[in-house]
Chain A
Amino acid sequence: MSETISRATVAMTVNGRRHSAEADARTGLGEFLREALGYTGTHLACEHGVCGACTVMVDGVAMRSCLMLAVQADGCEVTTIEGLAAPDGTLHPVQQALHEQFGLQCGFCTPGVAITLAAVTRDNPAATVEDMEKAMSGHICRCTGYQGIRRAIRQLAGEVPGPHGGEHA
């Protein structure tokens, strides 16, 4: 129980800023980012590694922050949704594509989706629609039916985002 749980000081760089805080050994990275460091943009939605909402980049790799302990990220560079846009506020191409293509509704799963697509396109600037859809298959979105996310993926891959509706009688 909690009185026997060991605590550690965890230091990490989040979105280019250095942080250090105490954490229980059992504290997940997502909880640490939210509760200790105040990066509430990372959302915990299933806490068992299926839905992908809590995805952050750890040393450039997309990770489910609910499945990783804070202490495991000690000394790492972490990128959360708050750090995706440029410092001047210009949206990351992934954010811009999701914005233009109605790729989000309630926005709860969106941070993880955006981080995953940012990680895929960063690792492989020539990532195809198939590459990105495969990565996206590890995310659950309950609102959009994935239509806008798929169009955003096509936009990122340099394809025509459609099909749209738009045949108005």
Chain B
Amino acid sequence: MNIRQSVGATRYLGERTPRKENARLLTGRGQFVDDVRVAGALHIAFARSQVARGRIVSIDTSAALDLPGVQAVYTQADFADVPVHFLNYFFTPILAPVTLLADGRVACVGEAVAMVIAESRAIAEDGAALVEIVIEEETPLVTLADAKRGPPVHPGFDDNIAAEMGDEDSILALKDMLKGAAHVVSQRIAHQRIAQSPMENRACLAIPDGAGEMTIHLGCQSPHLAARVLAMSLGMEPAQLRVIAKDVGGGFGLKNIPWREEIATVVAARKFGRPLKWIEDRFEALTASSHAREQDITLTAGFDAEGHLLGAYAEYDSNNGAWPMGEDANIAVHMFMWPAYKLKAYGFVTRGWYTNTMGLGGYRGPWAMESLIREVLLEKAAKQIGIDVIEIRRRNLVTAADQPFTSTLGITVDDITTDACLEKLVAHLDLPKFRKEQAEARKQGRYLGIGFAAYIEPTGSAGSMQPMTGETAQVRIEPTGKVVATLSTHSQGHGTATTMAQVIADRLGVKYEDVAIYEGDSALGAFSPGAGGSRQAVIAGGACWTAAENLADKVRTVAAHVSNASVEAVSIVDGMVHIDGAPEMSRSLREIAEIAYGEPHRLPPGMASGLESQFRYQPPPMTMTSAAHACVVEVNPDTGFVKILRWCSAEDCGTVINPGIVEGQIAGGLAQAIGQVLLEDMPYDAKGNPLAATFKDYLMPAISDVPDFEYLHANTPSQTTGGMRGVGEGGAIVGPPTLVNAIADALAPFGTLGETITLPLTPTRVLGVIEGRDLGGHGETAAAVVEEAPAPVAAAPVAAARIDGSYAMTMKTPMGDQAMTGHFRTDGSALSGELESPEGSQGFTGSVEGNRLKFDLKVEKPMKITLKYDLVVEGDSISGKVKMGMFGSSKISGTRV
């Protein structure tokens, strides 16, 4: 890293600089979607299904249309002429037959069936209540266990498997391997369903500007990404759509991509020809916005006698609901479970399942289950093996000496500091003193516990997935000498205008107050996915860093030229341009800017006028953040209430731009973690009704639930420009195991938390552990039963099968369906051909046995891997699977073309 620093300059990097966003947000002058007023705007409300599964017999809109003030009522039939290609976050098609409004069938409670357009939101809601929907009810599938044995949620599908990866063979191999292990420890966690619950619900105001043009004010996490997804979904040119999101009241993954209601608002505005506004209410947000997290995992790990990890295997299921924002088997859980630990072998099967519940969407740290299950299992194992909970981690964590280290799933880490973070934490806490207090307290019938967790957070991903790109910074010094930057960052609370201005002010040598940031508009700047994947400080920070330094170079060159000085003698300090040894020649940045813009003949020959700089930063593919956390709790044995007494975070997020903002990100994630472990739950009843319809049922953490957090920052610069590491999701990832472990430690005198830990750990469930029996109670959902998955496609030997030809095929991958065309030629038992995909065409040779084709392909992206295809041709159909090394198998299906 090349840091050029002028002596005496005001430093902004690392400072608790107050946020630029606050001026408007603290005074009621923010601009959230519902704050935008447009002449002639009408309001949308949706009539939603109150039935979880069934066929729509009739929709009677006449009473709604008769209501004064109602302008239109649309059903899916009205949108039948509008092709909408629903895409997931990775721009690949949604596999479920999702439509804007329910199309002939409903698959979950809350699914929008009709759209009412009216003069006010109140009248629109009245109208929605008057839409009469008759549905022939069918028995819904609600739980994972239901999904595994019930008829397909989506008619015509083979089963309810929405996505799957991994392979039973890998689990069998690990079971064999661990047979002789000194210790084998298992843990199952049934994770409840979460409602993301940003304080501002989803919102969309679509304004048709003219022929085929549209301005859309949208609650989103990136106007650029939203515009791109909308354009692709609707077959429009990106330039026809302008998405503006000045202020957004929290996103947390829910607002990753525009979904059914937002797209329906855009389509309806085009159709109706008036500005239309949809503002989701809290009832809709809780019951009909995409949910998150409902999942079930069983992890088993084997250890040698000293507690060294030998191998592990996991079975994972995710309840995708009916209409996920992308079918998901959550492969990231498995990819990120072990890179920080010296694990030698890992096997898994991972599946996503359709059910008749609201679809699954994103939520802070979507793969967080990896840390939860691993860290809870490790502390359980330590107690079983008889070693300290810190010691078991010391024996297994990847240290500096072990790096670069590549996990069994191919993730290489070369600069993680998890072990150092843990040691920093241990040094900060007086553990022996705590153990003494704990023993004393127990004598008095008070139950204290301490829990730890260590993890890595993959951040700043760029270059291996379509939407995850680099970032462009456009920075200019105006003729006034003030600095303006146009960025594609987006804040739903992240404070990117603050951190980016700090980077620019620091690297350029100007005052923070003199830097203005423009963001939140797809018409400004270049493509970026904005917030998502803990990436903005890492990537946009790097872009601002270089753009500002390049601009400083231009200023110095101009100043040197007009002063007859050498460039090396010029420095920029707090907006003043100085020449070493000639204080009388100091000029303000404004004077230099006036020359650069107004007197270009005074510039060095050939130099472009103005003072502008643009830089697009492409960081390394991934940047790892490391951390270890500890918390202390007291559990009341009479009430089952958990009180958090202390929480300490030791995190290494590299260069800290603004500790106030970094700590805010950690704290926000930790509060959400506390909610997940103790409070929040979106249960469904057996008929598929969501049971938490208000914030009196869905318990959000309040100030009284969250302790003071203590932060120990380590600062190992990353390999990115500026050295930043992401920190957006970590609290939500490391928080849950830290707290669960503390509760387990407090309750140790009563035994373990059980073979299955069901979240949230409500007072009732905690009392269940204390009393050693199931007390049932709030939020008890049907436990998922792990059953054998349907057998993989078997090849039936058929003589003289007609194989030669071309097939349009689809492969299910963790990032959605991948389309390809296969060309096959047979010659006896020899096979040759090509596979064509958007990435290009690749030839292969292989073998034929009856109607079964086998061939291998070597690919380089996203990592070096050999794909082993095993396909069967039956008539004009082709199906089978591809084995992707340690990632297990993916299904392939297709037809002859």
Contacts and interface: CB of A to CB of B under 8 A. Distances in A.
A166 B713 contact: yes
Interface stretch (A57-65, A67-75, A120-128, A134-142): A134-142
A139 B705 CA distance: 12
B25 A142 contact: no
A107 B247 contact: yes
Interface stretch (B397-405, B656-664, B823-831): B656-664
B696 A2 contact: no
A81 B126 CA distance: 30
A35 B36 CA distance: 11
A149 interface: yes
B68 A106 contact: no
Interface of B: 14, 16, 18-19, 21-22, 24-30, 32, 34-35, 37, 67-69, 120, 122-123, 126, 130, 197-201, 247-250, 252, 281-282, 424, 491-495, 649, 656, 659-661, 663-664, 666-672, 694-696, 700, 702-704, 706, 708-715, 731
Interface string A158-169: 000001111111
Contact of B27 (A81, A138, A143): A81
A140 B199 contact: yes
A111 to B, nearest CB: 6
Q: Which one of B26, B30, B252, B649 has the greatest number of beta carbons of chain A within 10 Å?
A: B26
A83 B201 CA distance: 25
A91 B30 CA distance: 16
B interface majority secondary structure: loop
B28 A40 contact: yes
B214 to A, nearest CB: 23
A104 B248 CA distance: 13
A53 B199 contact: yes
A106 B703 contact: no
Contacts of A38: 37
16 contacts: A2-B126, A3-B67, A41-B27, A45-B199, A104-B19, A106-B491, A107-B21, A107-B24, A143-B664, A145-B706, A146-B702, A164-B659, A165-B659, A165-B711, A165-B713, A169-B713
B712 to A, nearest CB: 5
B199 A142 contact: yes
Given A41-B30, A107-B26, A100 B249 contact: no
A166 B16 CA distance: 10
A95 to B, nearest CB: 5
Nearest to B649: A165
Contacts of B491: 106
Contacts of B710: 163, 165
A144 to B, nearest CB: 6
Interface in A17-34: 24, 26-27, 34
Interface of A: 1-3, 24, 26-27, 34-35, 38-48, 50-51, 53, 80-82, 84-85, 91, 95, 98-100, 102, 104-111, 114, 133, 136-150, 163-169
A46 B250 contact: no
B695 A140 contact: yes
A149 B710 CA distance: 15
B664 A166 contact: no
Given A46-B695, A47-B281, A147-B667, A40 B35 contact: yes
Given A104-B26, A106-B200, A142-B199, 5 more contacts: A40-B28, A51-B695, A99-B19, A108-B199, A145-B706
A7 B703 CA distance: 40
Nearest to A46: B282
A148 B248 contact: no
Nearest to A83: B28
B830 to A, nearest CB: 61
Nearest to B199: A108
A3 B695 contact: no
A145 B672 CA distance: 8
B249 A107 contact: yes
Contacts of B708: 147, 150, 163
Contacts of B69: 2
A48 B201 CA distance: 14
Contact of A3 (B25, B68, B659): B68
A114 B659 contact: no
A105 B493 contact: yes
A102 B27 contact: no
Nearest to B417: A169
A58 B120 CA distance: 26
Given A104-B26, A168-B14, A2 B250 contact: no
Contact of B493 (A53, A84, A143): A143
B702 A82 contact: no
Contacts of B198: 106, 108, 142
Given A46-B694, A100-B18, A141-B199, A80 B28 contact: yes
Nearest to B712: A167
Which 4 residue pairs are nearest across A and B when measured between Cβ atoms? A41-B28, A165-B711, A108-B249, A107-B25
A45 to B, nearest CB: 5
B563 to A, nearest CB: 38
A165 B666 CA distance: 11
Contacts of A53: 199
B696 A48 contact: yes
A41 B23 CA distance: 13
Nearest to A42: B28
Given A108-B199, A133-B703, A166 B30 contact: no
Nearest to B663: A165
Q: Which one of B68, B250, B649 has the greatest number of beta carbons of chain A within 10 Å?
A: B250
Nearest to A146: B703
Contacts of A3: 67-68
